[in-house]
Chains A and B, each alone.
Chain A
Amino acid sequence: MQSWIDSLIAAGDFGKNPPRDLVYALFIFGLSAVVFLGVAFPFAGIVSWVERRVWARIQSRVGPNRVGPNGSLQWLADGLKHVFKEDIIPDEADARLFKLAPYVVVLGFVLPWAVMPFSSALILADLNVGILYFTAITALTVVGVLMAGWASDNKWSLIGGIRSAAQIVSYEIPAGMSIFPVVLITGTLSMQGIIRAQAWEPYHWFLFSNPFCFVAAIVLYMSALAEGNRTPFDLPEAESELVAGFATEYSGMRYLLFFFAEWGNMFIAGALITTLYLGGWQAPRLSSSPVVMNVLELLSFNVKVLFLVFTSMWVRATLPRVRIDQMMSLCWKFFVPVAFINLIGTALWVAIWPGGNPVAGYVMFALGLAIAVLFIRRVMYYLKRSRMEMYLHPTI
């Protein structure tokens, strides 16, 4: 990227002797604007529509299908509606913090896109501490949620904010501990470095590299659900107990920004798991052209991430919300010890087989396949006994 801009400067596209930093800044801002306005925000919007459709199907309903073909423009209609709503700030609220909070939350959703490894070439910044960057951003997001909860001067908001803080501080530990097995194997924190250490065949993914990694990936997935405030862990905004949690006093666009961040975070959590455990953008080398390969890699990465996003919708539509004490004890009494066992087990594994154990990869992959087949048979069993017409006509 930098060398390309350097060549443009050398060709005189920006006049004679342009200030180099200024041109870089121009490109960085331009590119970020394109990524956020063209990819991140529409993604969050479209996910909101897809999610409602998926829930509806799982719960034998139809879902939004009026605006546009199959309701696919529903998210635009919702967005417009929120823009035109009145922006209410309660009298007793701390106005400055109240206004600032949604932006801090959205920042936590926008910043990770800088290190998102879409393909071998499509990455804004391949930081050599990319994974740490991801973790750091998660830690920042919750400051925004707590700010929103406290500044609203409302007991439900405050409880929601405090719950969110407790939840994220706790689940950061198993999540972090589930990242480190991969770091132990690869010896790098860079997103591209981790992906390059895997291959496109599933038995070369870190998910199947050893039994501890398999468990670590599952712990990471569930911790990511908890950190993203997703059902069954959406206690901070539990409608049945807290109205809307930290977002109770918000209205209009500020309210929508919180949910933008939530939907966008699904993609970000999926991207993190894909990078670490599912081989990232690795795709079979079908062509020697770098452009074709990059498109293939982009497809491979997005298919995996969108599958994870879909499973999180699936979980949300199926499972009831847990209680706050159940959630905290699940984290501290189960996830944290399991994550530590994974870490130590992977360390031993790497000490015994420094180059990895290929046989273990095949065995684990076969096991994973067996689990998937059993699961699919179970799903088919229930599908045969349900209202098939709902599932066979996805475009009602």
Chain B
Amino acid sequence: MPLGVFIFLAALAVTSALGTVLQRNPVHCLLALVVTLLAIAVMFIGLGAVTVGFLQVIVYAGAIMVLFLFVIWLLNLQAELRTSPGYLALKALAGLLCAALVAELFTLLWHAPTAGGAQAAAPPGYGSIEKIATMLFSDYLISFEVTSVLLLAAIVGAMALARRAPAPQHASPQAAAADGPARPEGA
């Protein structure tokens, strides 16, 4: 990837990441997050990991839509805009954790092999879907299966939460009609 393209994408990603954190309107934050993730996806593609790049777009863009819906449904946008939440202790904790993360990152960068600034040559087939699939189903099989079990547990949990309790036996159709269109929840 040419250096200029990398700098542009990195600047875009960092700026929009800052926008995600600093903007007041949750919907604007979310759209800034979309730009960050897209910039990172393009970086993946530029580095030869084409499959990972497009998967990033598919998975995160899909997730973002769901987040979008949560923001609209669950947050009271006007109240969110007016008030500035306090939580001083939480802010201090968040700052501390951020500092720890940055310190960790810099330690890693300090020890990273630079090889005189030259990039290591990519092995043939690098980033191709065959390579990823082979790795996923041989070297990383256990973590792959564990992730599947985790997702399965999430699905079962969601179904258990969303399942309506059966309507009480004594509720006659007339009573249900009197309640209006909404079905009696739980009882």
Binding site for B on A (CB under 8 A): 21, 94, 97, 127-129, 132-133, 135-136, 139-140, 142-143, 146-147, 150, 158, 162, 165-166, 168-169, 172, 189
Whether the Cβ atoms of A129 and B54 lie closer than 8 Å is yes
Instruction: Contact check, B65 vs A165: say whether CB atoms are below 8 A apart.
Output: yes
Inside 8 A of B2's CB, which chain A residues have their CB? 21
In the complex, which residues of chain A have a beta carbon less than 8 angstroms from the beta carbon of B58? 132, 135-136, 139
- Complex contacts, B57 vs chain A, CB 8 Å: 136, 139-140
Given A21-B2, A97-B27, are A169 and B65 also a contact pair (CB < 8 Å)?
Answer: yes
Q: How many residues of B contact A (CB 8 A)?
A: 22
B50 within 8 A of A: yes
Per the bound structure, the CA–CA distance linking A94 and B34 in Å amounts to 18
Assembly CA distance A99 to B57 (angstroms):
23
Contact status B61-A136, CB under 8 Å: yes
Inside 8 A of A147's CB, which chain B residues have their CB?
A: 31
A97-B62 CB under 8 A given contacts A136-B54, A165-B69:
no
- B interface residues with partner A (beta carbon < 8 Å): 2, 25, 27-28, 31, 34, 50-51, 54-55, 57-58, 61-62, 64-66, 68-69, 72, 128-129
A150 touches B50 (CB 8 A): no
Task: Tell me how far the C-beta of B1 lies from the nearest C-beta in chain A, rounded to whole angstroms.
Answer: 12
Residue numbers in A under 8 Å from B54 (CB-CB) = 129, 132-133, 135-136
The residues of B that contact A142 with a CB separation of less than 8 Å are: 65
A-B contact pairs, 27 of them (CB 8 A): A94-B27, A97-B28, A128-B50, A128-B129, A129-B50, A129-B129, A132-B51, A132-B55, A132-B58, A133-B54, A136-B54, A136-B57, A136-B58, A139-B61, A139-B62, A139-B65, A142-B65, A143-B31, A143-B34, A143-B61, A147-B31, A150-B27, A158-B72, A165-B69, A168-B65, A169-B66, A172-B62
- Beta-carbon contact of B65 and A97 below 8 Å: no
* Nearest neighbor of B38 in chain A, beta-carbon distance: A140
Most buried by A among B31, B51, B62, B128: B62
Q: CB-CB < 8 A to A136: which residues of B?
A: 54, 57-58, 61
**Are A128 and B72 in contact (CB-based, < 8 A)?**
no
